Amino acid sequence: MSEQPIDLTPTRPYLARAIYEWICDNQLTPYLLVDATQPYTDVPQQFVKDGQIVLNIVPHAVHQLLIANEAITFSARFGGASKDIYVPIQAVLGIYARENGQGLFFDPEEYANVAPVENTVEPEVQEADTTSTKKKPTLRILD
């Protein structure tokens, strides 16, 4: 009786989430090291150096951070302009604390035989509601 090999999910997203929590729990600044040359990676290209970018993902600097099994997504401000970031998990090279460099760096070859996952996150479109006439909130002191 021979055993069939089991297809396990990669550990990278699980470890990235754990290290992120550990960094934040210790009041340190989490930095994400990204291979900006990977397909579907959407980061501000003006800050890419030697094919890599370091992103500050401290909770108060990012909005709607999601470290999923396929990608890390969030929005942040770069040069005063808001930008939606999409980093496929295979493009994550490391996550570490700015203050002491402690964290985890990943083997870039771990995903060599895995097809990249296309960005399927739909940007939120908000239309202005021009039909309603909303009153400004007021504060009233009651006796």
pLDDT tens, per residue, the chain with 143 residues:
557 667 778 899 999 999 999 999 999 999 999 999 999 999 999 999 999 999 999 999 999 999 999 999 999 999 889 999 999 999 999 999 999 999 999 987 877 776 666 665 554 444 444 444 455 555 556 65
- What is the pLDDT, as a whole number, of residue 126? 40
- What is the pLDDT, as a whole number, of residue 115? 63
- What is the pLDDT, as a whole number, of residue 33? 97
> CA 96 to CA 123: how far, in whole Å?
28
Q: What is the helix (H) or strand (E) element at residue 17, kind and residue range?
A: helix 12-25
- What is the pLDDT, as a whole number, of residue 128? 42
Provide DSSP, 27-92.
Answer: T--EEEEEETTSTT-B--GGG-BTTEEEEE--GGGEEEEEE-SSEEEEEEEETTEEEEEEEEGGGE
pTM of the model: 0.76
